[in-house]
Structure 1
Amino acid sequence: MDSKPALCAALLLLLLWASPAGAGDIVHQDDKAPKRPGCDNKFVLVKVPTYVDGKEVAEFVGVGARFGVTLESKEKDANQTKIALADPPDCCSKLKNKLTGEVIIVYRGQCSFTVKANAAEDAGASGILIINNRTELFKMVCEETETDVTIGIPAVMLPQDAGRSLEDIMKNNSHVKVQLYSPKRPEVDVAEVFLWLMAVGTILCSSYWSAWSAREAAIEQDKLLKDGSDEFLSMEAPGSSSVVDISTTSAILFVVIASCFLIMLYKLMSLWFIEVLVVLFAIGGAEGLQTCLVALLSRWFEHSSESFVKVPFLGAVSHLTLAVSPFCIVFAVVWAVFRRVSFAWIGQDILGIALIITVLQIIRVPNLKVGTILLSCAFFYDIFWVFVSKWWFHESVMIVVARGDNSGEDGIPMLLKIPRMFDPWGGYSIIGFGDIILPGLLVAFSLRYDWLSKKNLQGGYFLWAMIAYGLGLLITYVALNLMDGHGQPALLYIVPFTLGTFLTLGKKRGELKILWTRGEPERPCPHVHPQPTPQ
Structure 2
Amino acid sequence: MELQRVRCALCICAVVVLILNYPATVTAGDIVHDDDSAPKKPGCENNFVLVKVQTWIDGIEDAEFVGVGARFGTTIVSKEKNANQTHLALSDPRDCCSPLKRKLAGDIIMVDRGNCKFTTKTNIAQAAGASAVLIINNQKELYKMVCEPDETDLDIDIPAVMLPQDAGASLEKMLTNSSSVSVQLYSPRRPVVDIAEVFLWLMAAGTILCASYWSAWSAREAASEQDKLLKDGSDELLNSESLGSSGVVDINTTSAVFFVVIASCFLVILYKLMSFWFVELLVVLFCVGGVEGLQTCLVALLSRWFKHAGESFIKVHFFGAVSYLTLAVSPFCITFAVVWAVYRNASFAWIGQDVLGIALIITVLQIVRVPNLKVGTVLLSCAFLYDIFWVFVSTKLFHESVMIVVARGDKSGEDGIPMLLKIPRMYDPWGGYSIIGFGDIILPGLLIAFSLRYDWLAKKNLRAGYFLWAMLAYGLGLLITYVALNLMDGHGQPALLYIVPFTLGTFLALGSKRGDLKILWTRGEPERVCPHIHLQSSEESNEEK
Report if TM-score (shorter chain) is over 0.5. yes
2:227 is equivalent to residue 227 of structure 1: no
The equivalent residue for 2:12 is 8
The equivalent residue for 1:399 is 404
Q: 2:27·2:432 contact (CA, 8 Å) conserved in 1?
A: no
Shift of 1:95: 4.0
Q: 2:372·2:521 contact (CA, 8 Å) conserved in 1?
A: yes
SS in 2 for 1:8: helix
Q: 2:226·2:240 contact (CA, 8 Å) conserved in 1?
A: no
Deviations 1:361-390 (A, max 9, x none): 001111111111111111111112112222
Whole-Å Cα distance in 2 between the matches of residues 473 and 139 of structure 1? Answer: 33
Whole-Å Cα distance in 1 between the matches of residues 209 and 452 of structure 2? Answer: 10
SS in 2 for 1:230: coil
Query: Which residue among 43, 54, 57 is the counterpart of 1:52?
Result: 57
Query: Which one-letter code corresponds to 2:481 in the other structure?
Result: T
2:393 is equivalent to residue 388 of structure 1: yes
Q: How does 1:417-496 map to 2 (within 5 A)?
A: 417-496=422-501
Whole-Å Cα distance in 2 between the matches of residues 504 and 459 of structure 1? Answer: 14
Q: How does 1:179-218 map to 2 (within 5 A)?
A: 179-218=184-223
Q: How does 1:62-101 map to 2 (within 5 A)?
A: 62-101=67-106
Q: How does 1:64-463 map to 2 (within 5 A)?
A: 64-109=69-114, 111-146=116-151, 149-233=154-238, 236-463=241-468
2:518 is equivalent to residue 516 of structure 1: no
Shift of 1:142: 3.8
Shift of 1:31: 1.2
Query: Which one-letter code corresponds to 1:79 in the other structure?
Result: N
Number of aligned pairs? Answer: 534
The equivalent residue for 2:27 is 23
SS in 2 for 1:180: strand
Whole-Å Cα distance in 1 between the matches of residues 50 and 275 of structure 2? Answer: 27
SS in 2 for 1:239: helix
Q: 1:186·1:423 contact (CA, 8 Å) conserved in 2?
A: yes
Query: Which one-letter code corresponds to 2:182 in the other structure?
Result: K
Structure 2 vs 1, CA of residues 108 and 488 (structure 1 numbering), >3 Å: closer, same or farther? farther
Query: Which one-letter code corresponds to 1:8 in the other structure?
Result: I
Q: 2:84·2:184 contact (CA, 8 Å) conserved in 1?
A: yes
Query: Which one-letter code corresponds to 1:114 in the other structure?
Result: T
Structure 2 vs 1, CA of residues 473 and 138 (structure 1 numbering), >3 Å: closer, same or farther? farther
SS in 2 for 1:528: helix
Whole-Å Cα distance in 1 between the matches of residues 275 and 368 of structure 2? Answer: 31
Alignment gaps of 5+ in structure 1: none
SS in 1 for 2:385: helix
Query: Which one-letter code corresponds to 1:12 in the other structure?
Result: V
After superposition, the CA RMSD in angstroms is 2.3
The equivalent residue for 1:505 is 510
Whole-Å Cα distance in 1 between the matches of residues 425 and 27 of structure 2? Answer: 13
Task: Give me the TM-score of the superposition, normalised by structure 1.
Answer: 0.94
Whole-Å Cα distance in 1 between the matches of residues 9 and 81 of structure 2? Answer: 58
Q: Identity over aligned residues, as a percent?
A: 75
Task: Give me the TM-score of the superposition, normalised by structure 2.
Answer: 0.92
Shift of 1:81: 1.8
Whole-Å Cα distance in 2 between the matches of residues 283 and 92 of structure 1? Answer: 57
Shift of 1:499: 1.0
Query: Which one-letter code corresponds to 2:438 in the other structure?
Result: F
Structure 2 vs 1, CA of residues 110 and 389 (structure 1 numbering), >3 Å: closer, same or farther? farther
Deviations 1:105-155 (A, max 9, x none): 234445543333223212221101223344333333444555663321112
Shift of 1:505: 1.2
Q: 2:226·2:241 contact (CA, 8 Å) conserved in 1?
A: no
Shift of 1:396: 1.5
Shift of 1:302: 1.1
Structure 2 vs 1, CA of residues 503 and 143 (structure 1 numbering), >3 Å: closer, same or farther? farther
Shift of 1:88: 4.5
